[in-house]
Amino acid sequence: MKESKNKKTAWIFLVIALALGILSGCSTFDAGFDKAGKTQVMPGLEEEQPQNFTIKPEQLGEMGEPVGTYDVQNGEVVTDALFYTVNEVQLVDTPQEINLSPEELLLDGVSEELMDANGKLKESVKLLMVALTVQNVRAEPERNITSLDILCANGETEFYELYPTSPVYFSCPSGKRTTDGWKDYYKYRLPIGREKNVKVCWYVDTQCYDPKNLYLTFGFDELQKYIKLVF
């Protein structure tokens, strides 16, 4: 009799757990739609939350114009040490459209969220290419492109970080796409007084992120800068 009671209790807990799971799944699904039933600009991950802030006029740069950022040297912030100029942006279906071969892309860390049931990239996933001129005024020569991020705006104050965040292509890496050198793939060297033209690519799932609302961003807190990407 006691064993039967225990089994009954276990079944009750199981039913409650399944019900909570269903409700949780519904809340995650509903979070992806606004009142009009249109998909919102969001990665679709339950734990992902938007960053809420307002871009100040002094933080917003424009394509084609040098935008300064800081460098940290000996624990001190050096302002306008490095300048980025966005020369061109493209959103393409295949790397061949921007004169790249698929073998040139760094695909080791591509998320499963970007894949379909057959293990191929979803049709909604596009390749974002940003062509930049980097000018070193008084920054440390050892640089890393992971300081660049892509954000997508959803309204005026909500911003989502592109997921996955890592670039899949860099035109001027210090390291190679090999087992021993992949950690240096995002690094490059730029001596003081020199400039370099580079290209950086990210994958963008256009079902999650509106390409019209993408920003290139770099820096931190009050010193963070934003450049609206215009196609």
**Which residue type, as a one-letter code, is found at position 195?**
E
The Cα 156–Cα 147 span in angstroms is 23
The Cα 69–Cα 24 span in angstroms is 42
| pLDDT one digit per residue (tens) for the chain, 231 residues | 544 444 444 444 444 444 444 333 333 223 333 333 344 444 444 446 788 999 999 999 999 999 999 999 999 999 999 999 999 999 999 999 999 999 888 876 678 889 899 988 999 999 999 999 999 999 999 999 999 999 999 888 899 988 878 899 999 988 766 555 566 889 999 999 999 999 999 999 999 899 999 999 999 989 999 999 999
At residue 181, the pLDDT reads 52
**Regarding beta strands 142-144 and 187-189, do their DSSP bridges make them parallel or antiparallel, or are they unpaired?**
antiparallel
At residue 177, the pLDDT reads 60
In order of 3, 72, 144, 166, the CA distances from 147 in angstroms are: 60, 13, 6, 10
Joined together, the tokens standing for residue 32 give 């992806």
Q: Mind listing the domains of the chain with CATH numbers?
A: 51-228 (2.60.40.1240)
Instruction: Annotate 81-122 with three-state secondary structure.
Output: EEEEEEEEEEEECCHHHHCCCHHHCCCCCCCHHHECCCCCEC
Q: Are 134 and 82 in contact (CB under 8 A)?
A: yes
At residue 47, the pLDDT reads 44
Max CA pair span of the chain: 85
Block residue for tokens 């050892």: 142
Residues in the chain: 231
